[in-house]
Chain A
Amino acid sequence: SQQGEEDPQALSIQEGENATMNCSYKTSINNLQWYRQNSGRGLVHLILIRSNEREKHSGRLRVTLDTSKKSSSLLITASRAADTASYFCATNNAGNMLTFGGGTRLMVKP
């Protein structure tokens, strides 16, 4: 089964607007993590939310987790052109591995 599917696949917004990306998964998890990837670069850890947590904030980022719906959302408030990147959710459900989704490509226009 596929784990960690994001939607939308692509999102284009104006600077200053909020961006919301969603992630769905199929199996129970220990934690869910969001990563950012600039084109051709490495993955940067943004935020981790544990299965017993419902919401977490870090700066302009807000992550929610609904384990009953097996879904998570990442909200970036007051977006900037520098937020342009691909955003991935990744789930840890057993052991040490992460299972990544296909990502959302975010374009923030100045």
Chain B
Amino acid sequence: EPEVTQTPSHQVTQMGQEVILRCVPISNHLYFYWYRQILGQKVEFLVSFYNNEISEKSEIFDDQFSVERPDGSNFTLKIRSTKLEDSAMYFCASSESGGGGYGYTFGSGTRLTVV
């Protein structure tokens, strides 16, 4: 079964530092996403990416966040200057079609702790 792979699984960073979360989506998927889940809260949409550009983003996805597909396989989320409230589980996902018409495949997540 194809998987979405995320690295690292855990990351601890100092407040104000930059972090890059990495994802390898499923190879024939065209749509890529980042979601986050603060402990005990709902899974929240951050951004979707298609055809090498952002197609949608939420209010959470402000100027401190950016995404990139630097090559044909990786999809990254950069948080420029981390804050304590950025501590969360970050999930990458990919899908064959838009609207999640066949469902999304999520990675196992990166647990980010900002101290």
Contact = CB atoms under 8 A, between A and B. Distances in A.
A92 B103 CA distance: 10
B76 to A, nearest CB: 18
A57 B73 CA distance: 34
Contacts of A98: 35, 45, 100, 104
Contacts of A47: 103
Contacts of B43: 43, 88, 90, 100
Contact of A96 (B99, B102, B105, B107): B99
B31 interface: yes
Contacts of A95: 48, 55-56, 98-99
B106 A100 contact: no
B42 A101 contact: yes
Contacts of B103: 33, 45, 47-48
Q: Give chain B's interface secondary structure class.
A: strand
Contact of B48 (A41, A43, A48, A96): A96
Interface residues of B, number: 30
Measured as residues with beta carbon below 8 angstroms from the partner, the interface class of chain A is: 20 to 34
Point out which of A43, A88, A100 has the most chain B C-beta atoms below 10 A from its C-beta.
A43
Most interface-central of B50, B58, B102, B104 (chain A CB within 10 A): B104
Contacts of B45: 97-99
A42 interface: yes
Interface string B88-115: 0101010100111111111111010000
A10 interface: no
Contact of A97 (B42, B58, B106, B108): B58
A96 B108 contact: no
Interface in A60-110: 88, 90, 92, 95-103
19 contacts: A33-B100, A35-B106, A43-B43, A43-B106, A45-B103, A45-B104, A90-B43, A95-B99, A96-B31, A96-B33, A96-B100, A97-B48, A97-B58, A98-B35, A98-B100, A99-B45, A100-B42, A102-B42, A103-B42
